[in-house]
Amino acid sequence: MDALNWLIPELTHSERLLHGFIFILNIGLFILAKPILNLVAPNQDNKTKIKMFRALNVLVLLLHILDLTLRRAGGGTYQSYFINLGLSLMIIYAGIFVYSFLGTLSKKRFGRQRTLDQQEIYIETYNSRLVSLVLLGIITLTTVYGLIKLWGADSLLETTGIFGIFIAFLAFTSSIWAPDIISGLIILNSDILEDGNVVTISDHTDEYIIARVTLIYVILYDIRNNHRTLIRNSQFMQSRIDNLSRIASSDGVRQSLIYKIGYPAFSADIILREAELNDFKAKIDGLFNRAFLACSQDDSIKINEHKSFEWALTNAGDYALEYTLWVYLQRIPNTKVTGKIRQHLMGTIYKVNEAVYTASILEGVDLSTPDLMQAHIHQAASSITRPNAGQETLLPNNTSRKSV
């Protein structure tokens, strides 16, 4: 006790209790940062947040010790400054923590429960996002009010103070952030785009997984390249978005493959030509039926086994007959792992293509596209005799010369 009185002799009993409470609270938050953040934001990567909050705790602790040191040294000019700065950081810390905690509760209360990667998670909805916006406004104003009261700057609460400046700032910058927030609410209100859905975007050839929809932007996972893509909500909504996870039929996602098969040779007799044409059509049917049977027996090929392949002659071109094969895939799994989606979508299409090639060998159908060429041969005169006088001679280059 004597050592404590020597360190902080100028503190009253209430001030000692306050300093002790702040010190113990700061140490407790430093130790319990990981379990607290995992409780507030479960099933998320909180490593960065844990480091940030612990660094904030260390900074507050240093400011606390610096304030006590200045009190012992008699530095009355700066002692209140450092303790107020530490308390300001604690107020900001409390505001962020309360918003995260209430945001998690609102997501559980107003969000939608979903199974993703064998885990039960809660995703944002239109109602939960509105509640988050209201909470953000209330907590932000409360935090600013607390900071103003802490520093004794009550003049900032006037119309020409910080709140007036803040409102003016929001008004002048509304054209920047308001479209993204409104677009984010539209995304959630549409009830067609959720975390974990596989989508395609117009003017982009790759497929993406929706990782997270925030107030301002959308985070996407590029399935083909394993990239993380960030796009603003307003830009995201301006594009055409196809959701492959939300199918319009129970048959599954419909994908197409195009094969160009050379024109068969036919006989001159019409009866033989009809028989040869039927035989050619039978080979095409056998080709795709054999491919479907092979794919149905392979569990790694994620096709709908209850929906047969469909094919049709879609173009009779100059060089080959173009057949389009339509394949129905199984429902896309609920996962954010790009490898699983890549195996489900691209891997299945590649294996179906391989099965068609194997069946073409067995059925005797050539999938190579021939190049058709027409050659016109002009036979030149083998010998040229001297013509009679006054007779024209036709030369090989189709020019004429008149003999005299």
What are the tens digits of pLDDT across the range 278-298? 999 999 999 999 999 999 998
Average pLDDT of the chain is 80
On the question of pLDDT at 153 being above 50, the answer is yes
Band of the pLDDT at 400, cuts 50, 70, 90?
Answer: very low
On the question of pLDDT at 364 being above 70, the answer is yes
Which pLDDT belongs to residue 154?
66
How do residues 4-43 score in pLDDT, each as one tens digit? 555 555 666 666 777 777 778 888 888 888 888 777 777 6
Which pLDDT belongs to residue 256?
93
CB within 8 Å of 95: residues ≥ 6 apart: 139, 140, 142, 143
Task: Specify whether the CB–CB gap between 104 and 40 falls below 8 A.
Answer: yes
Report which of residues 75 and 343 the model is more confident about: 343
Q: Is the pTM here over 0.85, yes or no?
A: no
How do residues 196-221 score in pLDDT, each as one tens digit? 899 999 888 889 999 888 888 899 99
DSSP strand E in 96-169: where?
A: 112-116, 119-123
Which pLDDT belongs to residue 17?
76
Give, rounded to a whole angstrom, the gap between the first and last alpha carbons of the chain: 141
On the question of pLDDT at 189 being above 50, the answer is yes
Structure tokens at 393: 């001679």
Range name among 270-274, 359-363, 372-376 with the lowest pLDDT average: 372-376
